[in-house]
Amino acid sequence: MAELFDLKEIEERVVLIAVSTGDGDDAEGSLKELAELVKTAGAVTVDKVIQNREKVHPGTYLGKGKIEEVKDLVWELDATGVVCDDELSPAQLKNLEAALDTKVMDRTMVILDIFASRAHTREGKIQVELAQLKYRAARLVGMRASLSRLGGGIGTRGPGEKKLEVDRRLIHERIGQLKAELEDVKRHREVTRQQREQGCAVSAAIVGYTNAGKSTLLNHLTDADILAEDKLFATLDPTTRSFTLPGDQQILLTDTVGFIRKLPHHLIEAFKSTLEEAKYSDIILHVVDCSNPQMDMQMHVVRETLKDLEIVDKTVVTVFNKTDRLRAMVESGEAGPLAQLPRDFSADYQVRISAKTGEGLDELCGILEQIIRSRRVHLEKVYPYSQAGRIQTIRKYGQLLKEEYTEDGIAVEAYVPAELFAKLYAD
């Protein structure tokens, strides 16, 4: 295999190609997003090509005439490869590569490559390698030729590339090992989750389309100091932080990996243990970039992904982020005046904020306090001084509204978790 070079030493120049079947697939918008993915992976898009067909060619993805057109483009623009906007079958990958005589990648390979470069924790690295191996196991024959011929570049990064030259038996053995390691991590996560539940902690999972501002929101609220860049999948590993609301109520906020259209099923499967943080949370904070023209499509993708993960029957707060950017777009004429009134009729609550400037965060905190209070029971009781320790329990797990010291004892008014009410009310 040819020597692998660092991406910084080789500038990947790629042509993006897509097939539009005319059924509302929005090929142009999808290609624009693919260009952002390619940029995040460290390559440069030199041209985009869309072919209109009734259906994708089963053997070569593109039709014969369009293949010749793309082949000429690759030569004229001195491109180092092409990236297809759909996941290719092993046959399509092999045949298209032979026809174009250049490196061929698909959307899934680029996303896996980005994830490989962004995974830092042990769990994240295991999940990425597992997804890579599952994807590549069926494509060894088609991928060997291109990767050994060109070497390096996007689509070859991460722990999976060192497995490409071993046989399928060893790859499947490695997949088995990774699954076992992931189960260990999952068990540890479940223990941590059970400890939180025993502590009656209310949790909220921050979900949303990639680059919607989830990490920026977590940073602003909790000073988490996690990476927040204007790039797709800037952060990958989940981060949980405790946040004290203005009314002294505690809530756990977890930043999750961003969603994207055509999210590879290999990744969804591998990252299920991470995404389960959303499944076991009490509240879903759905962060939406309301300045993005594709906002409705992105919201639909997130809702469908949550449904696929069986994350249902949750209290959903849709957080329309980047209102400052949207306001500037309206003032400049880029967006119409009605754009300032985004709506999500499927959500239980909705709020407009700017995670960058802090605008609207007080209202968001008020909504969270309202939700937490609705899940708690109102308690009024006079405790004898011998039971003063129960006041600390109320402070820790509930919201203490009133505390008055009288001759008969300590008069308390509070909101407490339902599971603690009987214990706190008993004499």
| Sequence ranges of the binding site | 208-215, 233-237, 255-258, 321-324, 354-356
Whether the Cβ atoms of residue 155 and residue 108 lie closer than 8 Å to each other: no
CA 9 distance to own-chain centroid: 30
Q: DSSP letter at 248?
A: S
H helices, E strands: number in the chain: 15, 13
For the purposes of burial, counting CB atoms within 10 Å of the CB of 407, is it exposed (0-12), middle (13-18) or buried (19 or more)?
exposed
Cβ contacts of 324 within 8 Å, gap of 6 or more: 354, 356, 357, 359
Residue set of the binding site for GTP: 208-215, 233-237, 255-258, 321-324, 354-356
- Give the C-alpha separation, 138 to 166, whole Å: 13
34: which 2 tokens?
């693919």
Residue set of the binding site for Mg(2+): 215, 235
Q: DSSP letter at 85?
A: S
List C-alpha distances in Å: 44 to 69, 79, 86: 20, 9, 19
DSSP SS3 for 359: coil
